[in-house]
């Protein structure tokens, strides 16, 4: 009996030590998760987190586990930039495993097994899905978010509710052009999340002059040559460009895009080469953790 | 009847069964590289790897996308091109890669349902890979271990803690008997221990590998408490002989070879090792020594680290099993196991 109590005491001490070791620091942590060919971006300030996209598999769970303390099972905000498999597949398990305060998605359904599974998981956990569009703003703790895209709310009914059949896009329309584009900031440090937009949308963003110079850019569409146009890069002049990419048959990231990013004066980091790309900032200075 | 005659009779039945099993395989052989449609129930646990899931339907291994998610016992109609993979001159493995799948009926089995509930509960509370490790140790579930961690387990010779192995069966039985020994008569406690192992096997889907592990594990346990190695050995050979009659192709199964040899080592070598060694270390040495040749032939590696790592974690695994209802506390030993395995892996 005494032996059992000692073991229990030892375990409790271990628990306290691990909590102390994993206690979050009061700084911004921006993580581009290495999840293969797909996007998953995590933003952390103390015990608050925002997750944008979940990648093409369940590796986002490992990324969350690496960067969140073990007792934190709550995500303050989860965003699906658009409903394609390489952005939402990992979110299905995230929804099942974490308590999610807010879930944002564009009001477009996608007739795939992944979309249906995600929608079902959201309904099961009774999480309401909301849509934010161009001009909308939000804040999670000291992290500011403002929406640059999509332009208009899609439909009256949210595609993401149980019951009614979702309206499904025609085969010719790509979901990429509805990708959420989010400008985020923490103090003086700004970064831009672009989903999978192409040069057509980039051009619209440039002409609407909603862009401003940022420190870090999440390169659109895994480094596709149909994204990251020179005018767009000039408008935001990123110091660091992060490409979320893995093994793929599309040739991502393309030499054209890598060349344009270099010409714009951006340093390049790729999740397929560096693993998780982790950036920390105190709101003034920022650095990439090696 | 003399033992020689028994052995001869066994041998004759074994050879006949062996031939018929091979014939069934050859029939499938003829359909290799051709389009086929099969109807059947999922007869194995679902394994998730990266962006795909795989499972067995009869003799055929099926691999498909992560979603829609399938479950043990689902009745499916599957059509695709049968692919053959030669394992050895007389046996091949068959697979269907990303075939067309239609779900006819969802499986429903209360033990599997219970297992999936527990699994989901662990993954609500614990991060990865601790959640999967807990499900692996407590439920013999190998559903969702992260690939890097799986490789680290393989490298350190500790994969047996997450698959339903003889070792885990021993732990289930030992833990139940230990908990109940003070409350009930010893014989009743042992009977309840066997009951616990049966529930464990049912939750793990009664796969052949799990039934085998349950038998071997139970034998290893009794072999040790009987304290007479000769009785333990006799039981071991009897069980192996019976299993080979049920499915003669087990003889090619690496899992079968590993659990037979490890049990053999536990019964025969373990009691002969120097007394000053801790119990966990002795068991680790005895089992690892015996399985080395099989690991060397099949995976081309045999690590000395295996003995050390196994020795370090074998005492933590039963503790995790004890805490099956308290995953919050279990995080500490689980995290310790993860740190040890990642360090050596």
CB contact under 8 A, A70 and B68: no
Q: Does residue B66 sit at the A interface (CB-CB below 8 Å)?
A: yes
Q: What percent of chain A has pLDDT over 90?
A: 79
Closest partner residue to B68 (CB to CB) among A15, A68, A117 is A117
Average of per-residue pLDDT across A191-210: 92
Given a cut of 80, is residue A63 above it in pLDDT?
Answer: yes
Chain A: residues touching B (Cβ < 8 Å): 7-8, 11-12, 14-15, 18, 36, 56-59, 61-62, 64-65, 68, 70, 73, 89, 92-93, 96-97, 112-114, 116-117
Given a cut of 80, is residue B164 above it in pLDDT?
Answer: no
Q: What confidence score (pLDDT) does residue B109 get? A: 83
Given a cut of 60, is residue B327 above it in pLDDT?
Answer: yes
Q: Which of residues 92-151 of B touch A (CB under 8 A)?
A: 120, 123-131, 144, 146, 148
Given a cut of 80, is residue B83 above it in pLDDT?
Answer: yes
DSSP letters, A168-235, are: B--TTS-GGGG--EEEEEETTEEEEE-TT--HHHHHHHHHTT-----SEEE-GGGG-TTS--HHHHHH
Instruction: Enumerate residues 6+ apart whose C-beta is below 8 A from A26.
Output: A45, A46
- Which range of A280-284, B137-141, B171-175 scores highest in mean pLDDT? It is A280-284
Given a cut of 50, is residue A171 above it in pLDDT?
Answer: no
Q: What confidence score (pLDDT) does residue B302 get? A: 66
Task: Give the C-alpha separation, B34 to B163, whole Å.
Answer: 33
Read off the pLDDT band of B187 (50, 70, 90): confident
Sheet holding A28-32: strands in order across?
A: A129-130, A99-105, A74-80, A48-52, A41-45, A28-32, A277-281, A286-289
Look up tokens 């499915």; give the residue: B247
At B304 the three-state DSSP class reads: coil
Q: Which residues does chain B have within 8 Å of residue A70's beta carbon, measured at their own beta carbons?
A: 126-127, 130, 331, 335
Each residue of A23-45: pLDDT tens digit? 999 999 999 999 999 999 999 99
Given a cut of 60, is residue A166 above it in pLDDT?
Answer: no
Closest partner residue to B329 (CB to CB) among A11, A96, A113 is A11
**Superfamily, domain A27-289:** Ribonuclease Z/Hydroxyacylglutathione hydrolase-like (3.60.15.10)
Q: Which of B138, B135, B159 is closest to B149 using CA atoms?
A: B159
Read off the pLDDT band of B107 (50, 70, 90): confident
Task: Give the C-alpha separation, A176 to B106, whole Å.
Answer: 35
Each residue of A255-272: pLDDT tens digit? 999 999 999 999 999 999
- HSE-CB of A68 using CA atoms within 13 angstroms: 26
Given a cut of 70, is residue A157 above it in pLDDT?
Answer: no
At B234 the three-state DSSP class reads: helix
Whether a cis peptide bond, with omega within 30° of 0, leads into A260 is: no
C-alpha separations of B238 from B7, B170, B244, B287 in Å: 11, 18, 10, 20
Instruction: Enumerate residues 6+ apart whose C-beta is below 8 A from B25.
Output: B59, B91, B92, B249
- Tokens found for residue A49: 């987190």
* Model confidence pTM above 0.95: no
Task: Give the C-alpha separation, A211 to A204, whole Å.
Answer: 10
Q: Give how far B65 is from chain A: nearest CA, Å.
A: 9
Q: What confidence score (pLDDT) does residue A284 get? A: 94
Q: What confidence score (pLDDT) does residue B331 get? A: 96
CB B332 within 8 A of CB A18: yes
CA angle A53, B146, B143 (to 5 degrees): 100
Q: Which residues does chain B have within 8 Å of residue A93's beta carbon, measured at their own beta carbons?
A: 123
CA angle B233, B238, B243 (to 5 degrees): 125
- The 3-state secondary structure of A111-178, one letter per residue: CCHHHHHHHHHHHHCCCCEECCCCCCEEEECCEEEEEEECCCCCCCCCCCCCCCCCCECCCCCCHHHH
Read off the pLDDT band of A19 (50, 70, 90): very high
- Tokens found for residue B103: 């779900």
Q: What confidence score (pLDDT) does residue B298 get? A: 77
Task: Give the C-alpha separation, B101 to B64, whole Å.
Answer: 9
**Could you report the predicted ipTM of this complex, rounded to two decimals?**
0.89
Q: What confidence score (pLDDT) does residue B84 get? A: 85
Given a cut of 90, is residue A21 above it in pLDDT?
Answer: yes
Q: How many residues does chain B have?
A: 345
Q: Which residues does chain A have within 8 Å of residue B66's beta carbon, measured at their own beta carbons?
A: 57-58, 89, 114
- Tokens found for residue A206: 């440039």
> Which of the 8 DSSP states describes residue A23?
P
> Which of the 8 DSSP states describes residue B144?
-
Instruction: Enumerate residues 6+ apart whose C-beta is below 8 A from B26.
Output: none
**Chain A to chain B Cβ contacts (< 8 Å):** 69
Q: What percent of chain B has pLDDT over 70?
A: 94
Task: Give the C-alpha separation, A222 to A224, whole Å.
Answer: 6
Closest partner residue to A97 (CB to CB) among B68, B123, B336 is B123
Each residue of B121-135: pLDDT tens digit? 999 999 999 999 999
**A234-243, B93-102, B164-173, B235-244: least confident range:** B164-173
Each residue of A201-251: pLDDT tens digit? 999 999 987 889 999 999 999 999 999 999 999 999 999 999 999 999 999
Given a cut of 50, is residue B36 above it in pLDDT?
Answer: yes
């Amino acid at each position: 009996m005494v032996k059992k109590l000692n073991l229990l005491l030892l375990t409790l001490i271990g628990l306290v030590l691990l909590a102390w070791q994993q206690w979050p620091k009061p700084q911004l942590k921006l993580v581009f998760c290495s999840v293969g060919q797909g996007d998953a971006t995590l933003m952390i300030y103390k015990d608050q987190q925002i997750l944008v996209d979940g990648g093409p598999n369940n590796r986002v769970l490992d990324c969350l586990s690496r960067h969140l303390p073990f007792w934190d099972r709550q995500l303050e905000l989860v965003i699906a930039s658009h409903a394609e498999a390489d952005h939402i597949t990992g979110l299905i398990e995230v929804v099942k495993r974490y308590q999610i305060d807010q879930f944002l998605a564009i009001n477009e359904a996608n007739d795939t097994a992944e979309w249906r599974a995600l929608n079902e998981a959201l309904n099961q956990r009774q999480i309401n899905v909301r849509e934010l569009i161009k001009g909308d703003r939000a804040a999670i703790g000291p992290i500011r978010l403002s929406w640059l895209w999509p332009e208009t709310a899609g439909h009256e009914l949210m595609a993401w509710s149980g019951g009614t059949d979702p309206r499904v896009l025609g085969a010719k329309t790509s979901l990429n052009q509805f990708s959420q584009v989010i400008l985020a900031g923490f103090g003086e440090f700004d970064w831009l999340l672009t989903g999978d937009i192409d040069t057509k949308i980039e051009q619209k963003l440039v002409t609407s002059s909603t862009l401003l110079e940022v420190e870090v850019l999440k390169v659109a569409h895994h480094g596709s040559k149909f994204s990251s146009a020179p005018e767009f890069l000039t408008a935001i002049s990123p110091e660091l460009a992060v490409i979320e990419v893995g093994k793929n048959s599309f040739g991502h990231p393309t030499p054209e895009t890598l060349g344009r990013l270099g010409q714009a004066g951006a340093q390049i980091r790729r999740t397929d080469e560096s693993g998780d790309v982790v950036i920390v900032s105190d709101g003034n200075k920022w650095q990439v953790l090696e | 009847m003399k033992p020689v005659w028994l052995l001869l009779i066994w041998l004759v039945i074994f050879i006949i069964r062996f031939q018929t099993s091979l014939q069934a395989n050859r029939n499938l052989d003829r359909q290799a590289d051709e389009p086929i449609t099969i109807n059947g129930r999922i007869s194995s646990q679902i394994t998730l790897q990266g962006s795909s899931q795989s499972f067995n339907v009869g003799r055929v291994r099926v691999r498909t996308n992560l979603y829609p998610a399938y479950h043990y016992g689902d009745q499916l109609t599957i059509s695709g091109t049968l692919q053959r993979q030669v394992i050895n001159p007389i046996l091949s493995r068959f697979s269907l890669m990303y075939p067309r799948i239609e779900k006819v009926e969802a499986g429903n089995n209360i033990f599997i349902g219970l297992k999936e509930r527990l699994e989901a509960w662990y993954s609500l509370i614990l991060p990865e890979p601790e959640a999967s490790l807990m499900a692996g140790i407590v439920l013999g579930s190998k559903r969702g271990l992260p690939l890097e961690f799986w490789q680290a387990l393989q490298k350190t010779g500790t994969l047996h803690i997450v698959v339903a192995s003889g070792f885990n069966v021993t732990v289930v039985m030992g833990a139940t008997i230990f908990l109940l020994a003070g409350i009930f008569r010893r014989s009743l406690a042992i009977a309840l221990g066997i009951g616990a192992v049966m529930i464990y096997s049912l939750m793990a889907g009664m796969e052949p590998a799990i039934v085998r592990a349950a038998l071997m594990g139970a034998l290893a346990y009794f072999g040790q408490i009987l304290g007479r190695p000769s009785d333990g050995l006799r039981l071991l050979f009897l069980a192996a002989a019976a299993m080979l009659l049920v499915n003669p192709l087990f003889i090619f199964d690496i899992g079968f070879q590993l659990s037979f040899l490890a049990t053999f080592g536990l019964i025969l070598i373990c009691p002969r090792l120097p007394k000053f060694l801790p119990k966990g270390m002795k068991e680790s040495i005895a089992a690892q020594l015996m399985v080395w040749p099989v690991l060397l032939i099949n995976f081309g590696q045999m690590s000395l680290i295996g003995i050390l790592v196994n020795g370090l974690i074998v005492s933590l695994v039963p503790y995790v099993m004890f805490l099956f209802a308290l995953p919050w506390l279990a995080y500490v030993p689980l995290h310790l196991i993860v740190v040890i395995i990642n360090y050596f892996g």
